[in-house]
Amino acid sequence: MSAAVTMRVWLSLARHRSAPGSASGGAPGGGRLPSVLAVVAFAAATWAALTVAGGTAAFVARAQGVPLDDDARAYPVLAAVSCVLLAVPVWTLGAAAARLTVARRNLRLARLRLVGATAGQVTVLALLDAALEALAGAAAGAVGWLASVPLLARVNFQGRPFGASELLLPAWGVAATVAAVLLIALLSCAGSLRKVAVTPLGVVRRVTPPHLRLVRALPLVVLAGGFALGFNRLAGLLGDSGHRLLLIGVVLGFVGGAFAVYNLVGPLLVGLVGRLLVRAARTPATLLAARRLVDDPRSAWRGVGGIALVTFVAGLLSIVPGIESGEDPHPDPIATDIGTGALATLAIAALMAAVSTGVTQAARVLDQAPQYRALHRGGVDVAVLHAARSRETWLPLAVTVGGAGVSALVLISPFLTVLRADAVRGVGVFVVTAVGGAALVLVASRAGRPLVTAAAGTRPPSRS
């Protein structure tokens, strides 16, 4: 079949899929919910990306208006920090949505192979499916962003609220953001398909996931070592306003590096915890959860990575109130704005993490639907399936949130020595954020229960 034929096949399938009464790719218990979830996830990612990009553009425009003001020039840098902080959650969310798109297509892709489609053609069909949902989500996200601009414009920065016109991106900026979301969707979808073999008899994993190697922890050691070496110089620079931009740049570098390292080490930690739990497990639910963590720690990490990063960010920003109150009776406006920006960043990141967790969990349930059904038919209570999934979420959550908290505390420890003790307020923000983020993840995880119940459904799939 040529590309044109592939496109015609896809259009035909898409038309039939959208017809009333059609199922969603044969996903057991899936219905239309996975499509809705994927579109919502893409919409949330697009909204966050446009909001952050609009804010950054506004700060850049303001800085250009007052070229000699050092503080004003710092705002775009701070906005860039926010962009770095949110880049990973936004990427993770987009990627999770793309994986969800692929997860429930397995049966349909296999059937297409059965009737003669090549592996390349089913890949193209899956990519087109992902692109369609990403486009729908991006459009919804852009509309949502437009609707929220008046609300966002109420936030005060630099002593005055934003004008709506400041936050609105030009058309090319919106188009570029939508294109970025589409790119994330296509790359993640292609990555998911690379890990399976779509054969006419079904979709099978190409390989058992290999064990993660300890070498993943090496960058963490390098980063920690570099930070320890720069400890004194960094602490000395804090009180020198002339070096503020340099300090921000250094912190930005460390934040970006820590993010990357945390994503490398996270799955390793999850896998180690899984191994320990396999040995200690006494109940079927714990054993199942532990084995799943060992089997695919990367997937488990993706489910909770978002909230871990939020916790990490909250830990880093917990010193902001300390800077704000400092020893100066008249707080520096930029310090106040950093606090405001931190809260805004946290709010967006927490939202991304919750949606990401919900979507990731939904994709995993759909992937494991045949096993859920077989277990239930074999006499496993649905409650045990829920318990296993809950532990599968809780266990890595506890490890990663704990790990993120410790990492953040290590990173901010130099500043704690030079700040006053009233940084307690910042620690309070940190604790509230960590608990709130974990609660959001659990709520998002619980939202997947109907999918589990449907996957374990007692009605037979055929009438034979």
Partner 1 sequence: MTILAARGLTVVYGSGPSATRALDRVDLDVGAESLAIMGPSGSGKTTLLHCLAGIVRPDAGTVVLTPPRTGAGVEVTALRDAERTRLRRSTVGVVFQSGELLEELPAVENVALPLMLAGVPRPAATAAAAGMLARLGLAGLERRRSGELSGGQAQRVAIARALVASPAVVVADEPTGALDQATGGEVLQVLVEATRAVGAALVVVTHDPVVAGWCGRTVLMRDGRVVDEFLRPASSTVGSAGSAR
Please give the residue ranges that form the binding site for partner 1 (CB under 8 A): 205, 208, 281-284, 287-288, 291-292, 294-296, 370-371, 373-382, 384, 458-460, 462-464
Cα distance between residue 439 and residue 30, in whole Å:
25
- Nearer to partner 1 by C-beta: 384 or 409? 384
Query: Which H, E and C letters describe 244-261, residue by residue?
Result: HHHHHHHHHHHHHHHHHH
Amino acid identity, position 432: V
- DSSP 8-state assignment for residue 419: S
Smallest distance from partner 1 to CB 188, Å:
23
- Nearer to partner 1 by C-beta: 87 or 281? 281
- Nearer to partner 1 by C-beta: 289 or 338? 289
- Nearer to partner 1 by C-beta: 289 or 404? 289
Strands 202-205 and 196-199: antiparallel
Structure token pair of residue 167:
């936050």
Smallest distance from partner 1 to CB 395, Å:
14
Smallest distance from partner 1 to CB 396, Å:
15
Amino acid identity, position 354: A
Residue 444 burial (10 A CB sphere; 0-12, 13-18, 19+): buried
- Nearer to partner 1 by C-beta: 377 or 420? 377
Q: Which residue has the tokens 């929220």?
A: 148
Q: Is 160 left (phi over 0), alpha (psi -120 to 50) or beta?
A: beta
What are the angstrom distances between the C-alpha of 125 and each of 74, 278, 460? Answer: 46, 39, 29
Structure token pair of residue 239:
């009180």
- Nearer to partner 1 by C-beta: 13 or 287? 287
- Nearer to partner 1 by C-beta: 164 or 384? 384
- DSSP 8-state assignment for residue 283: S
Please answer whether residues 309 and 259 qualify as being in contact, where contact means their C-beta atoms are separated by less than 8 angstroms: yes
**How many CA atoms are closer than 13 Å to the CA of 159, on its beta-carbon side?**
6
**Partners of 156 in the β-ladder:** 161
- Nearer to partner 1 by C-beta: 133 or 296? 296
Smallest distance from partner 1 to CB 53, Å:
40
Cα distance between residue 199 and residue 219, in whole Å:
39
